[in-house]
Amino acid sequence: MKVVIFAGGYGTRLSEETAVLPKPLVEVGGMPILWHIMKIYAAHGLTDFVVCCGYKGHLIKRYFLDFFHRSNDLTLDLATNTVEVRRAATEPWRVTLADTGLETMTGGRLKRVRDYIGDETFCLTYGDGVSDIDITGLIAFHRSQGALATVTAVRQPGRFGALDLAPGSMRVNGFREKSALDGNLINGGFFVCEPGVIDHVAGDETVWEEEPLRTLVAKGELAVYHHGGFWQNMDTLRDRNVLEDLWDSGKAPWKIWDRPEIRLAASAR
């Protein structure tokens, strides 16, 4: 099963970083957010990726072209112009990097990679969000629903602290971090789709989240998978700092690839 990743937007709300890099290459813990997303899928046995590039897409291509050499120790003999790889450790990924246009909308990007997807069920997500979502469970749920697409519903993370109030109280007891339970359900990405969804994309100007999804809803073809665990996108510098702090703490909830139970579930799928 292929994993399609939207990675072509401008990332204007993270302009402190995206003036130099495309958002998917902005780092958390010394690695691009795109790498973290791919590691989540790979933990569930999905290692065939189609990355929809756009803004500064050449830098994403360069990142993967250099990936093998960056990940290993090298000995360079400048006299003979030879390179010896001293430690061969890399990711077992197959990555298709598709130039889907600078101004193309999300639906248009999906339509442009139609030939790379093939005729099988595929996963689809954004290049700026991480989660501890059970991808294996999501795929099983999608297959059980018989719908053209499944979207993951998550609670919107709070951007502001919340007041701690006793019921009916006129006094503040204290302050707390806003809980996920305080927010409304939103589209968390992490879709599973049948190729037929692309038939609802008119062209480059089509926004995936608008007409295609509305059409699927009207036809009863959009299932919803509820994820109550961790989810966080990287829309602003504050969001990036939240993710960086979690990573530095050693308790990043989305770092599921070290969990043996995840690997066991993926091998059994």
In a domain, 209, yes or no: yes
Total domain count for the chain? 1
| d(C-alpha 108, C-alpha 42), whole Å | 26
In a domain, 168, yes or no: no
Cβ atoms of 259 and 172 within 8 Å: the answer is no
In a domain, 251, yes or no: yes
Q: Give pLDDT tens digits along the chain (269 positions).
A: 999 999 999 988 888 888 899 999 999 999 999 999 999 999 999 999 999 999 999 999 999 999 988 888 889 999 999 988 887 778 999 999 999 999 999 999 999 999 999 999 999 999 999 999 999 999 999 999 999 999 999 987 765 455 455 565 444 455 555 555 555 688 999 999 999 999 999 999 999 999 999 999 999 999 999 999 999 999 999 999 999 999 999 999 999 998 877 765 666 65
| d(C-alpha 42, C-alpha 248), whole Å | 22
In a domain, 113, yes or no: yes
Supply the CATH number for residue 82's domain.
3.90.550.10
pTM of the complete model = 0.88
In a domain, 171, yes or no: no
At 255 the pLDDT is 97
In a domain, 220, yes or no: yes
| d(C-alpha 91, C-alpha 105), whole Å | 30
Q: What is the 3-state secondary structure (H, E, C) of 11-74?
A: CHHHHHHHCCCCHHHCEECCEEHHHHHHHHHHHCCCCEEEEEECCCHHHHHHHHHCHHHHHCCE
At 202 the pLDDT is 96
Exposure string over 154-178, b if 16+ CB within 10 A, otherwise e = bbbbeeeeeeeeeeeeeeeeeeeeb
- The partner residues of 225 in beta bridges, in order of sequence, read 152
In a domain, 169, yes or no: no
Distance of CA 155 to the CA centre of its chain: 16
What are the backbone dihedrals phi and psi of residue 176, each rounded to the nearest 5 degrees, phi first?
-150, 160
In a domain, 72, yes or no: yes
Q: Which domain holds residue 75?
A: 2-156+186-268
Structure tokens at 133: 């979502």
